[in-house]
Amino acid sequence: MDLLPHNETFSRQGGPMLIVEMTPNLLGIKIAGDYDDLNELYDAIWALTIADSDFPEDKRLRGTADELAMSTRLLSLCYDIRHAYQGDRNVELKDNGLNEWTAEYLGIDTNLKSVVFSVEVLYPEAMYEALILNYLMAKRTNHMLESNAVDMRDEWPGESLLDEPMAIVRAYLAKLLAAVGKQATKGRFERIKKGMKNYQYAAAMYEQWVDVINNDFAGMTKRRRAEELSVVVRDITECYKHDQYLDMKADIDRAAEKHGCHRSEIQIPGLYEWDDIEW
Task: For residue range 193-244, list pLDDT tens digits in order.
Answer: 999 999 999 999 999 999 999 999 999 999 999 999 999 999 999 999 999 9
Tell me if 111 is assigned to some domain.
yes
Tell me if 173 is assigned to some domain.
yes
Among 18, 23, 75, which residue's Cα sits nearest to residue 41?
Answer: 18
- At 149, is the pLDDT very low, low, confident or very high (cuts 50, 70, 90)? very low
Residues 220 and 25: their CA atoms lie apart, in Å, by: 10
pLDDT of residue 273: 63
What mean pLDDT, rounded, does the chain reach? Answer: 85
**Residue-range definition of the domain harbouring residue 147:** 19-265
pLDDT of residue 134: 95
pLDDT of residue 8: 34
Degrees, nearest 5: CA angle 221-225-229: 175
**Which neighbouring-strand residues pair with 120?**
30
147 DSSP assignment? T
Count of structural domains within the chain: 1
Q: pLDDT tens-digit profile of 174-190?
A: 999 999 999 999 999 99
Q: pLDDT tens-digit profile of 69-107?
A: 999 999 999 999 999 999 888 898 877 666 777 777 777
Tell me if 14 is assigned to some domain.
no
Tell me if 118 is assigned to some domain.
yes
Q: Which residue has the higher pLDDT, 172 or 15?
A: 172
Tell me if 34 is assigned to some domain.
yes
Tell me if 271 is assigned to some domain.
no
Contacts of 199 (CB under 8 A, 6+ apart): 131, 132, 134, 135, 138
pLDDT of residue 157: 55
Tell me if 164 is assigned to some domain.
yes
Tell me if 208 is assigned to some domain.
yes
Q: How far apart are the first and last CA of the chain?
A: 50
Contact 27, 122 (CB under 8 A): yes
Distances (CA, A) of 126 to 21, 73, 88, 223: 12, 11, 20, 19
Which amino acid, one-letter code, is at 181?
G
pLDDT of 16 over the 60 cut: no
Residues 209 and 212: their CA atoms lie apart, in Å, by: 5
Q: What pTM does this model have?
A: 0.85
- Burial of 176-196, coded b for 16+ CB within 10 Å and e otherwise, reads bbebbbebbeeebbebbeebb
Torsional sign, CA 218, 224, 226, 230: negative
Among 141, 133, 155, 256, which residue's Cα sits nearest to residue 206?
Answer: 256
Which amino acid, one-letter code, is at 31?
I
Q: What is the largest CA-CA distance in the chain?
A: 77
- At 4, is the pLDDT very low, low, confident or very high (cuts 50, 70, 90)? very low
